[in-house]
Amino acid sequence: MGMDDAIAARIRMITEAGDGLSGPDLLGFVLDHAVTETGGLGGMVHLRGPGARSLLLTAVHGLIRPVARDWAEVEPADASAPARAMAQGTPVWAPALGAGDGTGPALPAGSGLLAVPLITPEGVTGAVSVLMVPAERPAPERWAAVEALAAWAAPRLRGDPPDRGRDRDRNRDGTGTLLADDQVSQALWHMSDAFFAVDGDWRITFVNGEAERLLGAARTTLGRTLWDAFARLSVDEAEPGLQSRYRRAAESGTPVGFEVRWPTNQRWYSMRLVPVPNGLTVYAADITASRAREAERAAAEQAAAERTARIGELTNALAQALTMRDVVNAIADRVLPPFGASGMVVQLIEGDVIRIAGAVGYPQPFLESIDGASIHEVSPVSEVYQTGAPAFVESVEEYTARYPAMAGRPAAAEKQAWAFLPLIVSGRSIGCSVVAFAEPRRLDAEERALLTALSGLMGQAIERARLYDMEHTRAKELQRGLLPRALPSLSSVTTAARYLPASEGIDVGGDWYDVIPLSGARVALVIGDVMGHGLSEAATMGRLRTAVNTLAELEFPPAELLTRLNDVVSELGDNLYATCLYAVYDPVGATCVFSSAGHPPPAVVRPGHPVRFAGGAPDPPLGAAQPPFETTEVSLEEGSLLVLYTDGLVESAARDIDRGMRQLASALSSAARAPGPGDTWPDGDRGGHASLERLCDEVLAELLPEKQLTADDAALLIARTHALAPDHIAAWPLSEGPIAAGEARDHVRDQLTRWELAPLTPTAELLVSELVANAIRHGRGPIELRLLRGEGLICEVTDGSLTTPRIRHASETDEGGRGLQLVSALSQRWGTRYTPTGKCIWTEQPLP
């Protein structure tokens, strides 16, 4: 192969410049220019080892350590390019075919190796190899350039390394027989890696300059056993398993590699133990710097992984957080611990005012003192709000210097360092999140960058939570606006109620309850639930509640009222369903009559008796029911409890309704106690209202703990019943003729005198006269008069007719028709209701 004139001239200049080089310097010089002339990726030089056996790697250029390590020792008989070049005495080109292809140690995919022998007068002593890409046979001129450089360098690979005369003296007495060739010894002596050799009896036969750093000077180590050197250096104490590794390598006959921290200098070495005939050669490459870099890289990767994990954990937690409280807790749990922070506060801008939206780890008096501050005063929050950039304050001194008007705040907040992070949403600043530390704290650039990145997540979550809280508040206000603002105060029942909206989602529910006064001191207790959530369901609930109140005013019995309410629901839509329980308590007979459309049965707590659930299986819900509805009647003596509730109280995804009702019964049994005979309610608590309020709270705490999320709203209505005293009831049968009016007036006069209500007598006599006259004229017997002393004075006249009296406008010439107008004018309330045998006309007068 030939070279063109330009390449030949360049080779002459190279060889003239390298004249005088020898040993490792010569090898490195030749290898550098061989790689440059061929445009290769890197190169290496192998020299024949002792006894014409292994080929040892003595110079490397541009190859990464793992590749060079694989080529540290090559067997002369294998198919690798260097071995073939030395065996044939001619250059060899070998493209990489893949791992295990039989061409020697692996090469990078798509590359090839050009090996040129180093030929001396004594024979072939080594090979220069160049790694090239792509794996195509090099051009002739490149091939020739490497050959020229090898031919020039080979004869110069002779001469003594430092102190080699002393080593040859040792060889003469049999202590240095392993390595004899001057060119090999010289190259090994100046290797950047430590190299030493031992014979079959573990005596050290060669150490190069770097190996003396590990084992000691050649004059003190050559001829001694490796184990003596280890003992002198206390290697076994620091690395007790090292000796066994050496022995296993010698016994296995195959190269072994591992990393070890050398006890004399505490540096890390990558050791490669290569068995040779009658001994072992050891290469030790100092990898302390690379390990440090790897440790730094691993630490950086670990830190990055932790940052990613933190951001991921915070993202997941914020995705699940709904309310501002949830968001603040999620940030506190995921952000404060990794940074060693002791508190955080979220401050949002409302107009020109800074409002605290949530805080953790701050004294309450301090939070109260800064809530409502002006955005125009000089403060870190206003600074961050206006600039949109974070502010980091490392100490109290720095805080005081930057914000002298607020010098007292660090002590009040019990904090000494701060990170003020802007909350940006869609390019708009909404406030500031403050992460604070109990001690002075300097955040490095990485920590500041991480906090700034996290503040973006915080801003999005906080804005979402703020909007959620606003909508949830509006939804709750709407829901409560549809419920009774206050329950009426009645003598027949004492009531208390609770409504709990669902804690998941912002849609309003359809649960409602009502307490409706009826005639005859009776009272209607109502509870219902429109299935589903949303404004439509809430509106339907409002319509049904209005319908129930209207139907109750018409004095329909429970079963008929639900029948008419079912018609209302059916007309509202095909897919609309609701449950309802309507109960009427009569204090005269101390009885309760109720009907249910798909609603859970009421719980009845009677003094001295276990809690029971009244009634059988409820009828289907409104919208799906087929009337008539079943009616259930229960006796409720003085002080009994009637407990109405919706299914959201006793049923959830984690608890079936049967278990929930048992839990409700248990809560009522342990918490409810009606007063016995002669007992009085404390502090003038009429009917035990305060005790019912406490009972409601205890029932909710037992069935719906605060920490438990609920997917359904829940309503609870508890009524304590009070029977009307027998001496507050008076009834008489009346004659069916005109004398009935006089009889009625006499009875009223006498009874009001006994009740000490004489001032009501004139009006009461006039009212009863009109009612009796109406019954005589338009009804039929039997006629009965009843007086009840309840919330007011109630006068009832019953007859056997179903004809409903109506007020009509009488003309000036009409002799009648003014009776009911007079009744309406003189009474507080009046009305008509049907009875099993006819009707009842009643009036009510307020008591003095």
Query: What is residue 757's predicted lDDT score, i.e. its pLDDT?
Result: 92
Look at the chain and count its residues.
848
pLDDT band at 539 (very low <50, low <70, confident <90, very high): confident
Give the mean model confidence (pLDDT) for residues 442-459. Answer: 86
pLDDT band at 748 (very low <50, low <70, confident <90, very high): very high
Alpha-carbon dihedral of residues 75, 78, 83, 84, nearest 10 degrees?
A: 160
All residues at 6 or more sequence positions from 144 whose CB lies less than 8 Å from its CB, including other chains: 1, 2, 3, 7
Query: What is residue 550's predicted lDDT score, i.e. its pLDDT?
Result: 93
Decide if pLDDT at 707 tops 70. Answer: no
Q: Is residue 15 helix, strand or coil?
A: helix
**What angle, 0 to 180 degrees and rounded to 10, lies between the N-to-C axes of helices 288-320 and 324-339?**
170
Decide if pLDDT at 750 tops 90. Answer: yes
Tell me how far the alpha carbon of residue 451 is from its chain's centroid: 19
Going along 640-683, which residue ranges are E strands? 641-645
Pick 726-846's CATH classification: 3.30.450.70, 3.30.70.270, 3.30.565.10, 3.40.50.2300. 3.30.565.10
Decide if pLDDT at 605 tops 70. Answer: yes
Could you report the per-residue pLDDT of 312-366, keeping only the tens digit for each? Answer: 887 888 777 778 888 888 888 888 888 889 999 999 998 889 999 889 999 999 9
Could you report the per-residue pLDDT of 779-819, keeping only the tens digit for each? Answer: 788 999 999 998 889 999 999 888 777 665 544 444 445 67
Query: What is residue 821's predicted lDDT score, i.e. its pLDDT?
Result: 81
Domain ranges of the chain: 5-156, 164-286, 298-474, 486-676+685-721, 726-846
348, two tokens: 């949002």
pLDDT band at 580 (very low <50, low <70, confident <90, very high): very high
DSSP string, 78-127: SS-HHHHHHHHTS-EEEE---TTSSSSS---TT-EEEEEEEEETTEEEEE
Q: Which strands, in side-by-side order, build the sheet including 112-120?
A: 73-74, 55-61, 42-48, 123-132, 112-120, 92-95
Decide if pLDDT at 136 tops 80. Answer: yes
Question: What single-letter amino acid sits at 672?
Answer: A
Could you report the per-residue pLDDT of 118-135, keeping only the tens digit for each? Answer: 998 888 989 999 999 888
What's the Cα-to-Cα distance from 458 to each of 316, 324, 332, rounded to whole Å? 12, 11, 11
Query: Strands 112-120, 92-95: parallel, antiparallel or unpaired by DSSP?
Result: antiparallel
Q: Are 429 and 456 in contact (CB under 8 A)?
A: no
Give the CATH H-level superfamily of domain 486-676+685-721.
PPM-type phosphatase domain (3.60.40.10)
- Give the mean pLDDT of the chain: 84
In CATH terms, the fold of domain 164-286 is: Beta-Lactamase (3.30.450)
Query: What is residue 53's predicted lDDT score, i.e. its pLDDT?
Result: 64
Query: What is residue 608's predicted lDDT score, i.e. its pLDDT?
Result: 81
Tell me how far the alpha carbon of residue 76 is from its chain's centroid: 64
What's the Cα-to-Cα distance from 40 to each of 44, 79, 96, 112, 124, rounded to whole Å? 11, 21, 14, 10, 24
Query: What is residue 318's predicted lDDT score, i.e. its pLDDT?
Result: 79
420, two tokens: 């003020």
Decide if pLDDT at 477 tops 90. Answer: no
Of 578, 555, 574, which Cα lies nearest the Cα of 565?
578
Could you report the per-residue pLDDT of 488-513, keeping only the tens digit for each? Answer: 989 899 999 998 877 655 566 788 99
pLDDT band at 671 (very low <50, low <70, confident <90, very high): low
CATH architecture entry for 298-474: 2-Layer Sandwich (3.30)
Query: What is residue 505's predicted lDDT score, i.e. its pLDDT?
Result: 53
Query: What is residue 815's predicted lDDT score, i.e. its pLDDT?
Result: 43
Of 270, 291, 671, 295, which Cα lies nearest the Cα of 496?
671
Residue listed under structure tokens 């339907």: 540
363, two tokens: 């004294």
Decide if pLDDT at 674 tops 60. Answer: no
Decide if pLDDT at 385 tops 50. Answer: yes
Query: What is residue 706's predicted lDDT score, i.e. its pLDDT?
Result: 63
Q: Are 669 and 611 in contact (CB under 8 A)?
A: yes
Secondary-structure class of domain 5-156 per CATH: alpha beta
pLDDT band at 217 (very low <50, low <70, confident <90, very high): confident
Give the mean model confidence (pLDDT) for residues 728-740. Answer: 90
Decide if pLDDT at 712 tops 80. Answer: no
pLDDT band at 453 (very low <50, low <70, confident <90, very high): confident
Give the mean model confidence (pLDDT) for residues 628-644. Answer: 93
Give the mean model confidence (pLDDT) for residues 219-247. Answer: 83
Measured between its terminal Cα atoms, the distance across the chain in Å is 135
Residue 640 — left, alpha, or beta (φ > 0 → left; ψ -120 to 50 → alpha)? beta
**Cα–Cα dist 433/449, whole Å:** 15
By CB atoms closer than 10 A (0-12, 13-18, 19+), residue 441 is buried
Could you report the per-residue pLDDT of 71-93, keeping only the tens digit for each? Answer: 888 888 888 999 999 999 999 99
All residues at 6 or more sequence positions from 68 whose CB lies less than 8 Å from its CB, including other chains: 44, 57, 60
Q: Please tell me the least confidently modeled range out of 47-56, 188-197, 267-276, 711-720.
A: 47-56
3-state SS string for 608-644: CCCCEECCCCCECCECCCCCCCCCEEEECCCCCEEEE
Give the range with max mean pLDDT: 145-154, 168-177, 526-535: 145-154
Decide if pLDDT at 685 tops 60. Answer: no
How many Cα atoms sit within 13 Å of 606 on the Cβ side?
11
Q: Is residue 387 helix, strand or coil?
A: helix
Instruction: Tell me if domain 5-156 and domain 486-676+685-721 are identical in fold.
Output: no
Decide if pLDDT at 179 tops 50. Answer: no
Give the mean model confidence (pLDDT) for residues 741-757. Answer: 92
